[in-house]
Amino acid sequence: MKLNDIRNENCLDTMKLMDAAFVDLVVTSPPYDKMREYEGYSLERFEQIAVDLYRVMKNGGVVVWVIGDQTIKGNETGTSFRQALYFKEIGFNLFDTMIYLKPPRGAVGNNKTYWQSFEYMFVFSKGQPKTINLIKDRKNKEARKGDTGTKRLPDGSLLKLKREGYGNYGRRTNVWEYMIGNGHSASDKIAHKHPAIFPEQLAQDHILSWSKPGDLVYDPFLGSGTVALMAELNERNYIGSEINANYCKIAKERLQRSRESTRQLQLLEA
């Protein structure tokens, strides 16, 4: 199957063409509930998509599923949890339930509840993840160098002690906060022609955490192409499925624009 390709089709059709155990990492945000109609398309046949994802993932592969819930008449749908439990039922391991925190903007949800400002990022794995590169950018309040000492034992002998050091930065928490909207989510303006992008930085952080250069990253709901773009910039291969031809066009334009700016930078550096 052709790598580094954006396919204008239903992800179920793309996955039919994939061999079993083909994909290293999926980072995706499916359409959820009836939040947006995407010009007439909505998430159908979730269960078949989950089963197909299990088949195409390599052993140790990871699926990052970014999702929230719609509130209908004061009642949250709970789709996120139902889907997470279904992934577990069909064999995936729920490796981590992470939070994508965003500053509240505009009128979101119900004004009788606290302001809705997060989505879930469920991290599923087929077996235990084969690649884990935790990002260590949380400033450590107790940074200190390791040192050694001694302690006298009751028999008079000296026991050598080693005190562990802590670096200036420790691993992050599993709550990741991103500024969103114009000038924050994407490095270009084209992306915003899509109504529901997630931030480039979010896609990159998962790609760096759960894959290696040369791995294959798949996004079954590619939208404006964020995952393909960040995979390419981080030397991973990608495949993206997007059912809507207009969004495919946006994704291709974004990749094209990014390649042109990389070429210009290289020319400046030469």
Ligand X SMILES: C[S@@+](CC[C@H](N)C(=O)[O-])C[C@H]1O[C@@H](n2cnc3c(N)ncnc32)[C@H](O)[C@@H]1O
Under the binding rule (CB under 6 A), the answer on residue 231 touching ligand X is no
- Candidates 10, 71, 116, 201; binder of ligand X (CB under 6 A) is 10
Instruction: Using CB under 6 A, count the residues that bind ligand X.
Output: 21
Under the binding rule (CB under 6 A), the answer on residue 258 touching ligand X is no
Q: What's the closest the beta carbon of residue 51 comes to ligand X, in angstroms?
A: 14
Q: What would the DSSP string read from start to end of 199-238?
A: -HHHHHHHHHHH--TT-EEEETT-TTTHHHHHHHHTT-EE
Under the binding rule (CB under 6 A), the answer on residue 254 touching ligand X is no
- Candidates 122, 176, 198, 210; binder of ligand X (CB under 6 A) is 198
Q: Per CB under 6 A, which region of 53-61, 75-83, 154-162, 194-202 contacts ligand X? A: 194-202
| Cα angle, residue 262 at apex, residues 259 and 263 outer, rounded to 5° | 85
144: DSSP letter: B
> What phi and psi, each to the nearest 5 degrees, are found at residue 2?
-65, 130
Paired sense of beta strands 138-139 and 118-125, if any: unpaired
Residue type, 97: T
Under the binding rule (CB under 6 A), the answer on residue 194 touching ligand X is yes
Under the binding rule (CB under 6 A), the answer on residue 218 touching ligand X is no
Give the tokens for residue 87. Answer: 């992934």
CA dihedral 165, 170, 173, 178 (to 10 degrees): 160
184: DSSP letter: T
Q: What's the closest the beta carbon of residue 260 comes to ligand X, in angstroms?
A: 20
Mark residues 31-70: x for contact with ligand X by CB under 6 A, - for none: x------x--x-x---------------------------
Q: Indicate the residue among 38 and 130 with the shorter CB distance to ligand X.
A: 38
- Candidates 15, 63, 228, 243; binder of ligand X (CB under 6 A) is 243
Paired sense of beta strands 237-241 and 5-7, if any: parallel
Under the binding rule (CB under 6 A), the answer on residue 244 touching ligand X is yes
Q: Indicate the residue among 209 and 224 with the shorter CB distance to ligand X.
A: 224
